Chains A and B, each alone.
Chain A
Amino acid sequence: MRWFWVDRFTEFVGSSHAVGHKGIALSDSFMHDHWDCYPTMPHSLIAEGMAQTGGLLVSEMYDFKELVVLAKFSKLSFQGITRGGDSLTYRAEIENVRDVGASVTVKGHCGEELRSVGEIFFARLQAGDVGDADDGMPTRLFDPVDLAHWLHVVGIFDVGVKKDGTRMRAVDYGLPTKLAQ
Chain B
Amino acid sequence: MPSQDEIFTKVQEALVDALGVDEDEVTPEATLQGDLDAESIDFLDIVFRLEKSFDIKIERGELFPEDILNDTAYVQDGKVNADGIVQLKQRMPFADLSRFEANPQVQNLGKQLTVADMCAFVEYKLAT
Query: Which residues of A does B touch, CB under 8 Å?
Result: 71-72, 74-75, 95-96, 98-101, 103, 121, 123, 128
Q: Is B102 an interface residue (CB 8 A)?
A: no
Smallest CB separation, A119 vs chain B (Å): 8
A103 CA / B70 CA spacing, docked (Å): 26
A123 CA / B41 CA spacing, docked (Å): 7
Q: If the complex has contacts A74-B17, A74-B18, A75-B17, are A99 and B60 also in contact, measured as CB distance less than 8 A?
A: yes
A75 CA / B18 CA spacing, docked (Å): 8
Q: Is B48 an interface residue (CB 8 A)?
A: yes
Q: How many pairs of residues, A versus B, come closer than 8 Å at their CB atoms?
A: 26
Q: Which of B46-103 contact A (CB under 8 A)?
A: 48, 51, 60, 70
Q: Mark B19-31, 1 if CB is under 8 A from A, else 0.
A: 0000000000000
Residues of B within 8 A of A121 (CB): 41, 44-45
Residues of B within 8 A of A128 (CB): 70
Whether A103 and B45, one on each chain, are in contact in the complex, defined by CB atoms closer than 8 angstroms, is yes
A71 CA / B38 CA spacing, docked (Å): 13
Smallest CB separation, A54 vs chain B (Å): 14
Main secondary structure of the interface of B (DSSP, over half): helix
Whether B41 and A101, one on each chain, are in contact in the complex, defined by CB atoms closer than 8 angstroms, is yes
Residues of A within 8 A of B60 (CB): 98-100
Residues of A within 8 A of B41 (CB): 71-72, 101, 121, 123
Closest 4 A/B residue pairs (Cβ): A71-B41, A96-B48, A74-B45, A123-B41
Residues of B within 8 A of A123 (CB): 41
A125 CA / B60 CA spacing, docked (Å): 15
Whether A72 and B45, one on each chain, are in contact in the complex, defined by CB atoms closer than 8 angstroms, is yes
Residue of B nearest to A95 (CB): B48
Most chain A CB within 10 A, of B17, B45, B51, is at B45
Smallest CB separation, A125 vs chain B (Å): 11
Whether A103 and B17, one on each chain, are in contact in the complex, defined by CB atoms closer than 8 angstroms, is no
Most chain B CB within 10 A, of A96, A101, A103, is at A96
Residues of A within 8 A of B45 (CB): 72, 74, 103, 121
Whether A98 and B44, one on each chain, are in contact in the complex, defined by CB atoms closer than 8 angstroms, is yes
A95 CA / B27 CA spacing, docked (Å): 28
A95 CA / B70 CA spacing, docked (Å): 29
Residue of A nearest to B20 (CB): A74
Residues of B within 8 A of A98 (CB): 44, 60
A100 CA / B60 CA spacing, docked (Å): 9
24 A-B pairs in the complex with CB atoms less than 8 angstroms apart: A71-B41, A72-B42, A72-B45, A74-B18, A74-B45, A75-B17, A95-B48, A96-B48, A96-B51, A98-B44, A98-B60, A99-B60, A100-B44, A100-B60, A101-B41, A101-B44, A103-B44, A103-B45, A103-B48, A121-B41, A121-B44, A121-B45, A123-B41, A128-B70
